[in-house]
Amino acid sequence: MAGFTHFDENGRPHMVDVSAKPETERFAAARGFVRMDEATLALVRSGLTSKGDVARIAELAGTMAAKRTADLIPLCHPLPLTAVSVAVEPDESLPGLAVTAEARTTGRTGVEMEALTAVAVACLTIYDMLKSGARGMTIERIELTHKSGGASGGWQRE
């Protein structure tokens, strides 16, 4: 299983030992999109959905999810997050909603999974809140957009 650090020499899964790594400032940003018809997007913009303010509730759900990433992703280290922000904004070009998340910590491992989990759960929350009238929505392109810190340094999606 060469190249995969979450497996030992016998192929058994294990949490990677990061105890010897230095603590550094870590940052990650991610994004995703929920595509919907224009009428559904207009409903979200109006704030008149039966379940409340879709964007603000999805932002809160994403933030809460980032804090629970280690409970959701096997072998993911629990991290003391120092900041998480999630934003849900209308995107007329889809049409739909664009979701972005940023996560920060000072630690021995990165926060990419926390940012990605925040986006994924925010997108799922949007779907859940609107599904009764718009089951044809799609969740698209959840992706890391930027990371910094650690031995591998920075990375930016082009």
In this predicted structure, which of 5-14, 60-69, 75-84, 131-140 has the lowest mean pLDDT? 5-14
| Distance from C-alpha of 44 to C-alpha of 38, rounded to nearest angstrom | 10
Q: What are phi and psi of 7, to 5 degrees?
A: -130, 140
Q: Find out whether 59 and 94 touch, Cβ atoms under 8 Å.
A: no
Q: What is the pTM of this model?
A: 0.92
Q: Catalytic: which of 37, 53, 91, 128?
A: 128
pLDDT of residue 2: 46
pLDDT of residue 1: 38
- 128 catalytic? Reply is yes
